[in-house]
Structure 1
Amino acid sequence: MEMSSNARVQSVGHTEINWDKLDKTKFYVVGAGLFTGVTVALYPVSVIKTRLQVATRETVEKSVASVVKGILKTDGIPGLYRGFGTVITGAIPARILFITALETAKVTTFKMVEPLKLAEPTQAAIANGVAGMMASLSSQAVFVPIDVVSQKLMVQGYSGHEKYSGGIDVIRKVLKADGVRGLYRGFGLSVITYAPSSAMWWASYGASQRVIWRLLGYGSESQEGTPGQGTVVAVQAAGGIFAGATASCITTPLDTIKTRLQVLGHEKKPSATNVVKNLIKEDGWTGLYRGLGPRFFSMSAWGTSMILTYEYLKRLCARDA
């Protein structure tokens, strides 16, 4: 999701809604509802991606179509939402941490790079990249346990994985086997995956938007007036797709390794090195890119949806001057 400051082109008068101009209580309450709606729409993609990433050589379902068909045949539509309750419960505090850290870090970084007199796309890339990384780091303490529990639920009974009666059952068994540390399995890889991914997503989004605006003629003396709402939305969507493609292509191997580590049974505790060796042994180097299609779609669709939702939310929650 992208803040309106990144859609802003000062010379054409696109109005920015600053963080300090928002009704925070209304923002978090209304935002929880809006973002939950987006999560409902896109959650099945995460389930499909996770299934593809943990598939073994013996697994019959190795394509998106076969995974969907298998889930629907076994569990129907609810199967596409395994672990959803856990994600929604933990996503609200994680998202609050992320958004707050993102906004505050972005404002600070913009002020730090402004004296350098860099080109606008470069300045946007640096400020947004740093903010995205800081936001991701601050939310990992909440996000990783949610990730561990939800992914175990997503793959339960699939390709030999253990079955659970719900999120509480997963937590109980993980704590019994490995203690609190078990809920943070893959924490290092998660940080290594999501922090750079967040930085790349925000950096490429911020820079690409400004490049697109310039290609459209805004920000130059030859173009006057303010872009229409349809144009703004189109530019944001294009930037979101570009950002999703960039981040997913670079970070999918780490995400695949992390996912495999997190869903392994309690009796299996291989290292990241062993996971990499097994993936390469099964499918060659392309094994590291399992689930790339769904991950790319998820990051692009999720990012673009969040941008548009966030823009609407900020307008809705802006305080009167």
Structure 2
Amino acid sequence: MAATENGLTINNEISMELPALAPNQGLEAFKDIAFGSFAGMVGKIIEYPFDTVKVRLQSQPDHLPLRYNGPLDCFRQSFQADGFRGLYRGISAPMMGAAVENSCLFFSYRVVQDVLRATYYSTSETLPFSALLFSGAASGSITSLALTPIELIKCNMQVPTDGPGAKPPSPLKLMVAVFRQDGILGFWRGQMGTLIRETGGGAAWFGGYEGVSAFFRSYQHSASPTGSPQVESPTLPIHQQMLAGAAAGISYNFFFYPADTIKSRLQTEDISNTACTKRQTFWGVGKALWQQQGLRGLYRGCGITCARSAPSSAFIFTIYEGLRSYFK
């Protein structure tokens, strides 16, 4: 085996070309992690009260009358019980989760695109929309592994405690309860739902943003007086970036919302009940929910989720793209 300038030569006959990734990968990775984390935390502050309502609507027991009649009733009861602070209960874990999720999403999304360019496309070639969808799906599936344990703790902190004076459990107490009940693998309870949601949702999230952005760029090109082609995609105005981000957030949540509903049901089971010897499965919960409440039960809380995801994703993409442009 002998090394060559562009690859590896085996027995001086067969040459294996190694993909050449973009330079400065370390600096680009740092930007993805730092900018994605900051944008994700800002988005989480905006959306968290709506996310709390969504989880409480999703986690209502099947065998009891519904505690909330809808999102507005859930807001009212939650505010009367715990005040505005109660809507932000457990935000520490989601803030960390938002930083992890968005940094992983943007980092892996760029890396997958670099690999595709180095393997199948020219490094200067604009990737087709199908490749962008694949990159988004791949980034979502990777992110799901880091996100499931964080969402497990978050969902259990958002569910209201029983009793008027009951104190909500701390994240550390919940982590100890999960480990005692199910071991280390218990932190990945609901992984199937997170994987389905994040894989499909990643394709929908990035696909929605890229698709709407491409539409705006095409409109700008057709409206230009010269109509001359541009080498690089023009930077969109902030309001168009926010519209593209809002479309991405709605697409992410709407298409794969049933998987998130099932995941929330799984993750909000009583983890302190040691008498429970057999946990439900993802498909078992989904089948039971479909038989009891149909499609409406799988989409309970979807409206408020899409409503909160629109401004949240708009700010996430706008902040990330703005920081990227500023620190070129």
Scaled by the length of structure 2, the TM-score of the pair is 0.77
- Residue in structure 1 matched with residue 206 of structure 2 by the alignment: 202
Q: Residues 284 and 158 from structure 1, CA distance in 2 versus in 1: closer, same or farther, beyond 3 angstroms?
A: farther
CA positional deviation for 1:149: 0.4
Structure 1 equivalent of residue 17 of structure 2:
none
Residue of structure 2 in register with 1:10 after alignment: none
Conserved? CA contact 2:36–2:103, under 8 Å: no
Q: Which residue of 1 aligns with 2:269?
A: 264
How far apart are residue 222 of structure 1 and its match? 4.3
| Stretch of structure 1 that moved more, 259-268 or 171-180 | 259-268
**One-letter identity of the residue aligned with 1:100:** F
Question: How far is 1:179 from its partner?
Answer: 0.9
Pair 1:239 & 2:249 matched: no
CA contact (8 A) 2:141 2:199 kept: yes
1:86 match: 93
Alignment of 1:88-107 (within 5 A): 88-107=95-114
Q: How does 1:93-242 map to 2 (within 5 A)?
A: 93-110=100-117, 114=121, 123-157=127-161, 164-218=168-222, 222-223=226-227, 232-242=237-247
Task: For 1:76 and 1:248, locate their aligned partners in 2 and report how far apart those are by CA, in whole Å.
Answer: 27
1:59 to 2:66 alignment: yes
Q: 1:22 to 1:158 in 2, by over 3 A?
A: farther
Residue by residue over 1:69-97, the C-alpha shift from the partner in whole angstroms, topping out at 9 and shown as x without a partner, is 11111111111112211122344344433
SS in 1 for 2:203: helix
C-alpha deviation, 1:281, in angstroms: 4.3
Number of residue equivalences:
294
For structure 1, which segment, 270-279 or 188-197, has the greater mean C-alpha deviation from structure 2 after superposition? 270-279
Contact 1:97–1:135 (8 Å) recurs in 2: yes
Q: Secondary structure at the match of 2:152?
A: helix
Instruction: Indicate the percent of aligned positions where both proteins have the same amino acid.
Output: 20
What residue number does 1:290 align with?
Answer: 300
1:39 matched to 2:49: no
Match of 1:70 in 2: 77
Instruction: Tell me, yes or no, if the aligned pair for 1:53 and 1:256 is still in contact at 8 Å.
Output: yes
TM-aligned CA distance change 1:262 to 1:69, over 3 Å: same
Aligned residue for 1:275? 285
Letter in 2 for 1:142: A
RMSD after superposition: 3.3
Structure 1 residues 109 and 75, CA gap change in structure 2 (3 angstroms): same
Structure 2, unmatched stretches of 5+, are: 1-22
Residue 23 of structure 1 and its aligned partner are, at CA, apart by: 6.9
Report which of the two structures shows the higher radius of gyration computed on alpha carbons.
Answer: 2
For residue 192 of structure 1, what is the amino acid of its counterpart?
A: I
Report the residue type matching 2:246 in the other structure: I
2: CA distance, partners of 1:133 / 1:26:
21
The higher relative CO (CA closer than 8 Å, separation ≥ 6) is in 1
Once the two structures are superposed, residues 179-223 of structure 1 have per-residue CA deviations (whole angstroms, 9 ceiling, x without a partner) of 112111111221112111111221232123212322344497744
Q: CA deviation at 1:113?
A: 5.5
**3-state SS of paired residue (2:136):** helix
**Which ranges of structure 1 fall in alignment gaps of 5 or more residues?**
1-17
The Cα of 1:152 is off from its aligned counterpart by 0.3
